[in-house]
Structure 1
């Protein structure tokens, strides 16, 4: 699968060189701009795998764009800049940049930086998915516990019997235990 890239660099010559280098290395440049406001729109519209952002450009700067991309979890971000001061590097990291490259860069530095940024973004996306799944499991567990409590209190049955009722009902209706528990909690289902 080809990795899709958006370039946001206000210097046309650097942007052109970057595009050429990326295409030579097998990446697909799906959009490019020299303006930060346009960069965020391109990323939202094109949903690339990676955005390469210059720090200093008209409109929103690269760090603002990186922050928006990161908050919306749209793609990986590689910051490209002429500034190597620690403060700028830390600002880039805090904005959600997953890799950082100082201009002028060597072609041999670009590909590893891209691969690091994309790899880190994929790891973060996978972790986010795991966190969401764990959150759903926790919410389901809470609903089942509430439902068991209601059944135990109202019917005077054991916790084991309350759980068995929810489990059997879910199996017989080919439903999730969470859905049965929610019906018990809202009062629409009783044994």
Structure 2
């Protein structure tokens, strides 16, 4: 099954595919990068940009807003990771790092920094699609868990806010817990607000009045 044509990929890699012929390492790195791009295209992926790992990377990623970022590097490239993660802080997206660096001591730090998949020597064209499919699935799963956790924290905060608001009404209006809750609920219905919003407004007023 081909990837969705709406999946927009940005590759972060060396600027040139035609380095100085006398620089054997640069030529090797360029061949790696070329192989990765060919593999992506052969698998039907949409490469919207290839960006250098420089100081302007966060700004460029923010402008392009890709669905996935692929880092093509010969080493752990901490600075590149920091730029990509920073750019994805407010618009989270899967980050896949392809490298030939067999030193795996950096994997834990890379994953903690936000890398979804860390692939060593994984540039064979037939491996690219499975790797990206798994990376996207993992990212979506983690985002679902993140949203569930955020929702749970919000619900807990709202319950605490409502409980505090009920306590204020009970003390100042001399009513019981049920009546305090009904007053909050009726106000919320009358004003078209959520119960937690009414409770927070009551707390804000109580703070002002002391």
Considering the TM-score relative to the shorter chain, is it more than 0.5?
yes
Aligned length: 187
Q: 1:49 aligns with which of 50, 59, 67?
A: 67
TM-score normalised by L of structure 2:
0.76
Change in Cα spacing, 1:140 to 1:94, as seen in structure 2 (3 Å) is: closer
Q: 2:203 aligns with which of 180, 185, 188?
A: 185
Counterpart residue number, 2:10: 6
Task: Kindly state the Cα deviation for residue 150 of structure 1 after the two structures are TM-superposed.
Answer: 0.7
| Higher mean displacement: 145-154 or 35-44 | 35-44
Task: Provide the alpha-carbon RMSD of the alignment.
Answer: 2.5
Matches within 5 A, 1:39-188: 39-56=57-74, 61-69=79-87, 71-103=89-121, 105-187=123-205
TM-score normalised by L of structure 1:
0.83
Change in Cα spacing, 1:28 to 1:160, as seen in structure 2 (3 Å) is: same
Task: Kindly state the Cα deviation for residue 111 of structure 1 after the two structures are TM-superposed.
Answer: 1.2
Change in Cα spacing, 1:95 to 1:55, as seen in structure 2 (3 Å) is: farther
Please list every run of 5 or more consecutive structure 1 residues that lacks an aligned counterpart in the other structure.
Answer: none
| Aligned 8 A contact 1:66 1:96 in 2 | no
Cα distance in 1 for partners of 2:174, 2:79 equals 64
Change in Cα spacing, 1:61 to 1:82, as seen in structure 2 (3 Å) is: farther
Please list every run of 5 or more consecutive structure 2 residues that lacks an aligned counterpart in the other structure.
Answer: 15-28
Cα distance in 1 for partners of 2:202, 2:158 equals 13
Deviation by residue 1:100-126 (Cα, 9 ceiling, x = unmatched): 222362112211111122122222222
Cα distance in 1 for partners of 2:100, 2:10 equals 19
Q: 2:44 aligns with which of 17, 26, 36?
A: 26
Q: Secondary structure at the match of 1:178?
A: helix
